[in-house]
Amino acid sequence: MRILIAGGSGYVGSRIIERLGGEHDFINLSLTRPAQGAINNLLLDLTQPIDFLRLDQPVDMVINCIECYRAGSQEEGKRRYLAVVRNLLEFAKANRVPRFMHFSVNNIDTVENDYQQAKFVAEGLVEHAGLDHLIFKPSIIFGDKSPLQRLISVLTTRRVLPRFWGPQTVISPIHIEDVLRNVAHALDHPECWGATYPLCGPEYMGFEELLSRHAPHRLRFVTTPALAARLALFRMSRGEAERHLRPMLSWIATDNIAQGRPLLRSKNFF
């Protein structure tokens, strides 16, 4: 199968190519970075229309792994992300691509911020585009140098942590290998398309429990004003929170567990 993947150099996209590149040919669309293992890399600004793009051979599927544009304000990031989704859908329709796989995120139904709202609207665009589609909604992903692992390594260097999450919230992290198993299954089983699937791990926990499991020492959690907590996190992570970890903060702040029927059940515990 010949697959056009948007964001193939990102965390999820690069691992899809690494896992399935031996069985399928991947053409990566990215703004700045090529993807190792792709048969071709097209460095394009996907916020601009790509209807001019002509490939030497037709593709069988588009996979959108673009997470979000974070340059500028959150409102600007939302606008740019939705432009990417629209442009990919228009390309797929114009080139008669039979399938469109889209990665959203779990727990966006409350629409609490611009990031979640962008993901929520994008799902609607995919569902109503008239294409044979499949939407995956992963919870917080762990394993293999994930953003969650980076966040844990940053936070657990301290003994006292400001609480920037809801103490009663429950999350269900999913391992990247379980995400890849679901993708591989979907590629081989067309009968499961035309649906949306949550991807969540097999156990539920609070974020404090998650941190305590991996801390080399006992942690103490203190409640502070939200702004102070976020400033403290920003300093601890040396700017990583804004560039890579900001969406995760919104996931941790509210429940992030499976709602709906998964495609394949997760095997890996955190």
d(CA 245, CA 223): 20
Summarised one tens digit per residue, pLDDT across range 203-225 is 999 888 989 988 999 999 888 77
- Which one, of 227, 219, 242, 208, lies nearest residue 158 by Cα? 219
Q: Which residues of 28-37 are buried (b: 16+ CB within 10 A; e: fewer)?
A: bbbeeeebeb
Summarised one tens digit per residue, pLDDT across range 169-203 is 788 999 999 999 999 999 999 999 999 999 999 99
- Provide the domain limits for residue 53: 2-138
- Write the burial class of residue 19 (CB in 10 Å: 0-12 exposed, 13-18 middle, 19+ buried): middle
* Percentage of the residues of the chain whose pLDDT score is greater than 90: 55
- Classify residue 111: in a domain, yes or no: yes
d(CA 196, CA 230): 33
Q: Which helix (H) or strand (E) holds 222?
A: strand 220-223
- Classify residue 152: in a domain, yes or no: no
- Classify residue 211: in a domain, yes or no: no
Q: How many degrees, rounded to 5, is the angle at CA 141 between CA 214 and CA 14?
A: 120
Mean pLDDT of 101-120: 80
d(CA 70, CA 73): 7
- Classify residue 237: in a domain, yes or no: no
Domain count, the chain: 1
- Classify residue 77: in a domain, yes or no: yes
Give 127's contacts (C-beta < 8 A, 6+ positions apart).
133, 135, 196
The SS3 assignment for 206 reads: coil
- Classify residue 148: in a domain, yes or no: no
Higher pLDDT, 238 or 101: 101
- Classify residue 88: in a domain, yes or no: yes
- Domain harbouring 85, CATH code: 3.40.50.720
pLDDT, mean over the chain: 87
Does residue 40 register a pLDDT over 60?
A: yes
Higher pLDDT, 156 or 38: 38
pLDDT at 241: 47
Report residue 72's pLDDT band, with 50, 70 and 90 as the boundaries: low
Give 155's contacts (C-beta < 8 A, 6+ positions apart).
161, 211, 233, 236
pLDDT at 104: 93
